[in-house]
Amino acid sequence: MDEGKMDENEWGYHGEGNKSLVVAHAQTSEEIFQHLQNIVDFGKNVMKEFLGENYVHCGEVVQLPLDFVKQLCLKIQCERPESRCDKDLDTLSGYALCLPNLARLQTYHFAEHRPILCVEIKPKCGFIPFSSDVTHEMKHKVCRYCMHQHLKVATGKWKQISKYCPLDLYSGNKQRMYFALKSLLQEAQNNLKIFKNGELIYGCKDARSPVADWSELAHHLKPFFFPSNGLASGPHCTRAVIRELVRVITRVLLSGSDKGRAGTLRSGPGLRGPPVCEASPFSRSLRCQGKNTPERSGLPKGCLLYKTLQVQMLDLLDIEGLYPLYRRVERYLEEFPEERKTLQIDGPYDEAFYQRLLDLSTEDDGTVAFALTKVQQYRVAMTAKDCSIMIALSPCLQDASSDQRPIVPSSRSRFAFSVSVLDLDLKPYESIPHQYKLDGKIVNYYLKTVHAKDATVMSARFKESEDCTLVLHKV
């Protein structure tokens, strides 16, 4: 075995059976450094280009004293959710990624002393696949998030089906967005968290310990939205505060003039696929009322949701069309393993890597080059489908108009705000077979259990609105 691997500190206990005790070699420090540097480079050279300078904070790789890392791990261990504790923290390499605290305003370069509210949304995939490689007709009608909900509830990941549908949030239609955000507030799962001064006040720290009481949330939010008003507490106050929150978040999500090159992708994927998901309670309700499906009013091109959606749409072929291309790359790598580096499977994620992502052709010329481009685009799209948006809000004075920072008004107050994207590390090449299997599982489960009993779905999703109508507030 390689002499360089003979350091006991780099080995750890893995498991054991009756006869064997298994130890595993950890990554070397250089490998970990390279992995972290790749995350930074991917943010800088790819995501900043697509999403825009102001939204992406790449951070930097830093070196930390090992003692400090070990003490820190011990200190925070008791606060980690049980479900994540099977993952060990790296206490050996001494490398870490240092990022700004995105729960704070990013428009200020000095510490903010005013109270800060931060809403984190993981919007997931905002379009229905338009690829002709899709074999199940249902995938052209119901979005992945809505189908996946049923499998997640069946496997016990979450207790109940959410009414949230990403297509509503990405619609650009204020009423649909309002409905989507309210649905997230009703069933946050891992798609919504709210922090006050960095502390989680709403959402799930862990699937088993959700913090989700609307009146408690309203109590926290009241001083932000009704600062000098003696609004009484109770259900009326709760509703008023939640309404203000949702309005402000909708406005912030529709704002933005930040430049980014996601626009260059428009000539390719564009706004394709059906504008609504048939499983969304919003569109179901409209259909029940005999109304047409809403027009896709479209997101403003400068806003982060629009840009994120464009990057998600780099998944041009859907996993069903992509998987055979992945197999082509795999066969090539089995024959020429040394080519993995040249193909930039594990980086570097540089300007050349970015440039190749802009090739949106879908005509397969049978080459490895074509297959590789689609594989890399798919990985980038998957990253955009799993990222989170952090919206930081800090109350500002009524006369702070000379201030150049973006401001969002609410009925009784005004907020300086910043919007950032989080969790932008490129999805691994190795996860593609998993994606392929999971996709089949999600669709088959949905077809077998849900679609077959469509009437049951209707009654489950509309249990509190028997007549199948939704009350839509003016926004």
Does residue number 197 form part of the binding site for ligand ATP (CB under 6 A)?
Answer: no
Q: How far is the CB of 470 from ligand 5MY (least distance, A)?
A: 25
431 makes contact, choosing from ligand ATP, ligand 5MY, none, with CB < 5 to 8 Å by partner type, with ligand 5MY
* Nearest in space to 168 (alpha carbons), one of 125, 118, 139, 138: 125
361 makes contact, choosing from ligand ATP, ligand 5MY, none, with CB < 5 to 8 Å by partner type, with none
182 makes contact, choosing from ligand 5MY, ligand ATP, none, with CB < 5 to 8 Å by partner type, with none
Closest CB to ligand ATP among residues 382, 408 = 382
What would the two tokens of residue 402 be?
A: 């000379």
Q: How far is the CB of 435 from ligand ATP (least distance, A)?
A: 14
Indicate if the alpha-carbon torsion angle 204, 209, 214, 215 is positive or negative. Answer: negative
120 makes contact, choosing from ligand 5MY, ligand ATP, none, with CB < 5 to 8 Å by partner type, with ligand ATP
H or E element in which residue 199 lies: strand 199-204
With CB under 6 A as the contact rule, the residue among 99, 138, 333, 407 that binds ligand ATP is: 99
Does residue number 155 form part of the binding site for ligand 5MY (CB under 6 A)?
Answer: no
Closest CB to ligand ATP among residues 103, 396 = 103
460 φψ region: left (φ > 0), alpha (ψ -120 to 50), beta (else)? alpha
3-state secondary structure of 286: helix
What would the two tokens of residue 100 be?
A: 């700004």
Q: How far is the CB of 286 from ligand ATP (least distance, A)?
A: 32
Q: How far is the CB of 250 from ligand 5MY (least distance, A)?
A: 22
With CB under 6 A as the contact rule, the residue among 80, 427, 444, 475 that binds ligand 5MY is: 427
Q: How far is the CB of 379 from ligand ATP (least distance, A)?
A: 14
What residues numbered 177-206 form the site for ligand 5MY, per CB under 6 A? 190
249 φψ region: left (φ > 0), alpha (ψ -120 to 50), beta (else)? alpha
Interacting stretch for ligand ATP, rule CB under 6 A, among 32-40, 101-109, 174-182, 459-467?
101-109
Closest CB to ligand 5MY among residues 103, 470 = 103
Cα–Cα dist 304/385, whole Å: 13
Running DSSP on this structure, what letter comes out for residue 45?
Answer: I
Binding-residue total with ligand 5MY (CB under 6 A):
6
Length of the chain: 475
382 makes contact, choosing from ligand 5MY, ligand ATP, none, with CB < 5 to 8 Å by partner type, with ligand 5MY
Does residue number 386 form part of the binding site for ligand 5MY (CB under 6 A)?
Answer: yes
Closest CB to ligand ATP among residues 81, 298 = 81
427 makes contact, choosing from ligand 5MY, ligand ATP, none, with CB < 5 to 8 Å by partner type, with ligand 5MY
* Nearest in space to 69 (alpha carbons), one of 41, 99, 46, 89: 89
Cα–Cα dist 243/217, whole Å: 12
User: E strands of 26-94, at which residues?
Assistant: 60-63
CB under 8 Å to 58, separation ≥6 — which residues?
39, 40, 43, 44, 47, 48
With CB under 6 A as the contact rule, the residue among 77, 229, 411, 431 that binds ligand 5MY is: 431
* Nearest in space to 411 (alpha carbons), one of 398, 394, 401, 393: 398
Does residue number 165 form part of the binding site for ligand 5MY (CB under 6 A)?
Answer: no
With CB under 6 A as the contact rule, the residue among 177, 311, 322, 382 that binds ligand 5MY is: 382
The residue at minimum Cβ distance from ligand 5MY is 386
Q: How far is the CB of 442 from ligand 5MY (least distance, A)?
A: 9
With CB under 6 A as the contact rule, the residue among 120, 168, 315, 439 that binds ligand ATP is: 120
CB under 8 Å to 346, separation ≥6 — which residues?
38, 340, 429
What residues numbered 388-427 form the site for ligand ATP, per CB under 6 A? 388, 422-423
Write the CA distances from 183 to 75, 149, 167, 269, 305, integer angstroms: 36, 13, 13, 28, 18
DSSP string, 297-327: ----TTSHHHHHHHHHTT--SHHHHHHHHHH
Residues that bind ligand ATP (CB under 6 A): 99, 101-103, 120, 193, 388, 422-423
